[in-house]
């Protein structure tokens, strides 16, 4: 009985503890990883593209994404200073150029800490904007950075009390600009989350509607709604690939392979098409 009681107490304590999501740039391939960032025409190594999650059934970071114009080069710079060199940023600020993390939330969580370790070299980008998008909604700017530290020194952005995130998904976007060589060094993204207080207002309120999403036989997705609702489909980069402001009934939407996010009203589901 004592062992059973102890196990029960440990289970409760675990559910109350904070959860961590971390993308660690480690091009030396020291850890197992299901998805990698491989060098694109550079002499670098590979770096893990997937997050490390302490409780993926509660909050689960997934892959890192970037816009098509951003060039990625995982590279071991110095002793234990492994980074991903991101280049191709515009001189003028443009949020269409981005590096992004995708996280799914299975139980409402408060983002207690968002931490980004970054740097610059060779007169690279001197400005970066950090923003967040909840369930495919508009981006909300969290911070605008002046990039000052050069390699081998790095800066750490630590934003606390970001807010309560509802069930669904969110993306953190980083958009750099300026400088003469358009390079930006990314070393780590880390998030710490915990339970939302009962009285907390969510970042993007969510209620459940009587609708559903399912994969159809022809490789698209079949959407069914029982009342007039907005229907939005996003690809893994957060780009809108299908949108109806008021939709009721059943429709099949053709999509390509990979991860897609479907939002019907305030309900969010993810579809992986192969």
Domain ranges of the chain: 18-195, 211-273
Question: What does the angle CA 183 – CA 185 – CA 191 come to, to the nearest 5 degrees?
Answer: 140
CATH 3.30.1330.10 fits 18-195, yes or no: no
- Whether 18-195 shares its CATH topology with 211-273 is answered no
Class of domain 211-273: mainly beta
Question: Per-residue pLDDT for 131 more than 60?
Answer: yes
Mean pLDDT of 254-258: 79
CA–CA separation, 141 vs 186, rounded Å?
19
Question: Per-residue pLDDT for 36 more than 80?
Answer: yes
List the beta bridge partners of residue 229.
Answer: 247
**Mean pLDDT score of the chain, rounded to an integer?**
78
For residue 108 the two structure tokens come to 């409402």
CA–CA separation, 143 vs 261, rounded Å?
26
CB-CB contact of 142 with 159 (8 Å) = yes
Three-class secondary structure assignment of the chain:
CHHHHHHHHHHHHHHHCCEEEEEECCCCCCCCCCCEECCCCCCCCCEECECEECCCCCEEEEEEEECCCCEEEEEECCCCCEEEEEECCCCCCCCCCCEEEEEEECCCEEEEEEEEEEEECCCCCCEEEEEEEECCCCCEEEEEEECCCECCCCEEEEEEEEEEECCEEEEEEEEEECCCCCEEEEEEEEEEEEECCCCCCECCCCCCCCEEEEECCCCCEEEEEEEEEEEEEEECCCCEEEEEEEEEEEEEECCCCEEEEEEECCEEEEEEEC
Position 6 scores a pLDDT of 41
**pLDDT tens digit sequence for 75-127:** 877 665 678 989 999 988 888 899 999 999 998 899 999 999 988 877 888 88
Position 172 scores a pLDDT of 95
**pLDDT tens digit sequence for 165-218:** 888 899 999 999 988 888 888 999 999 999 986 545 555 443 334 455 555 445
């Amino acid at each position: 009985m004592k062992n059973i009681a102890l196990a029960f107490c440990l289970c409760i304590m675990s559910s109350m503890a904070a959860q961590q999501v971390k993308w660690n740039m480690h091009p030396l391939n020291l850890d197992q990883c299901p998805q990698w960032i491989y060098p694109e025409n550079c002499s670098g190594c590979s770096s893990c593209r997937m997050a490390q999650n302490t409780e993926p059934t509660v909050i689960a970071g997934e892959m890192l994404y970037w816009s098509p114009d951003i060039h990625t080069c995982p590279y071991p710079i110095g002793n234990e200073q492994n980074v991903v060199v991101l280049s191709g940023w515009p001189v003028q600020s443009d949020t269409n150029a981005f590096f992004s993390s995708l996280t799914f939330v299975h139980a409402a969580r408060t983002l207690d800490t968002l931490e980004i370790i970054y740097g610059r070299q060779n007169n690279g980008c001197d400005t970066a904007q950090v923003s967040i998008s909840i369930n495919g909604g508009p981006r909300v700017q969290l911070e605008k950075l002046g990039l000052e530290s050069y390699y081998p020194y790095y800066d750490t952005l630590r934003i606390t009390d970001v807010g309560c995130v509802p069930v669904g998904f969110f993306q953190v976007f980083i958009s750099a600009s300026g400088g003469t060589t358009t390079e930006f060094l990314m070393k780590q993204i880390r998030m710490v989350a915990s339970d939302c207080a009962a009285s907390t207002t969510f970042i993007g309120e969510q209620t459940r509607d009587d609708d559903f999403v399912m994969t159809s036989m022809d490789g698209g997705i079949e959407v069914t709604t029982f009342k007039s609702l907005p229907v939005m489909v996003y690809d893994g980069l957060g780009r809108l690939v299908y949108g109806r402001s008021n939709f009721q009934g059943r429709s099949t939407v053709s999509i390509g392979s990979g991860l897609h996010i479907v939002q019907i009203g305030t309900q969010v589901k993810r579809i992986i098409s192969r």
